[in-house]
Amino acid sequence: MNIRQEARLTMFRTTEQILDDNASIVAAVPALVSLIIVFKSVIASILNTTQLADVNLTGIAADKASAKNSLALTASDFADIIGSFASATKNATLKAEVKYSLSKLSKMRDEALAPVCRIIHDRAAENIDALRDYGITPQKLALFDTAIGEYASKTPNTRTAIVSRRTQNANLVQLFRQGNDLLKNQMDGLVKNFRTTHPDFYNAYLAAREITDSHTTVTQLKGSVIDAADEKPIKGAVITIVELGKSTKTNTKGEYLFKPVEYGKFTLKIEKEGYAPYQKEELDIKTGHIIHWHASLVEN
């Protein structure tokens, strides 16, 4: 999982927690309840797929490298001994067939080493009676044969692990797309049912939906102001962060934005002629986060 996916998963799980904490409110919209069940299953699949993708390739590679070094050392010893026998018997063909140094064997591609070792093994087996006097016994030959087989079985492991990781990473991409689609195209719309009836839940949901990184995201406060009666946007409402002495006005869509803004707990005051003043105490603005706060004003 890459950094962006980690940030998105954090957003998914934070959103899930907000929905769980407000289950009694959400229950009023059965369609949303059904979507949440699907959303939870997507998150569970992401977590499971992440575990499958996190194959320890380093450990597999280290295990294979150790087996390769051990096999190359054994094979080079056999090759040197057979080479000595070939020189003594003036068998140039045999000598050429087993002319492999430790350095040469160690540098071979994984797929090539086992077949070469098998050639060395087979030449030793063909001359086992004569090679007893040179220190090669049937027991040592059997151990060499086992080492070749064990190494050959390890060779595909890294490739298999890489292929598996690629497959799981591709699955992750699809799962994140599914989660994004559920939120953006379905759940976000249904949550608007609670904008005026349960504004605290609505604001918390929107805040959870932001993907933030405290190292790269500018701290912001944004939101909208609507008429409590007809839910239409209110233009020109004055938004003030009291302790900071900062103010702005809503645009034609009733939206406002403070960017950048200091972090801390502040009092948010909203005023518009013809409406009762609105005030939110201890609005928590966290560094590196985009904080949403939406308000409904009541006419005087």
Q: Which of 222, 220, 221, 229 is nearest to 296 (CA)?
A: 229
Q: What is the pLDDT of residues 130-170, one digit of tens each?
A: 999 999 999 999 999 999 998 888 766 566 666 777 788 88
What is the rounded distance in angstroms from the CA atom of residue 160 to the CA atom of residue 167? 11
Q: Mind listing the domains of the chain with CATH numbers? A: 1-211 (no CATH), 214-300 (2.60.40.1120)
Cα 223 to Cα 251: distance, rounded to the nearest angstrom? 11
| pLDDT surpasses 90 at 299 | yes
Listed residue (7, 2, 52) closest to 179, CA to CA: 7
d(CA 238, CA 270): 6
Question: According to DSSP H, which parts of 195-278 are helical?
Answer: 199-208
- The amino acid at residue 10 is T
Question: pLDDT tens digit string along 242-283?
Answer: 999 999 999 999 999 999 888 888 999 999 999 999 999 989
The answer to whether 127 touches 138, Cβ cutoff 8 Å, is no
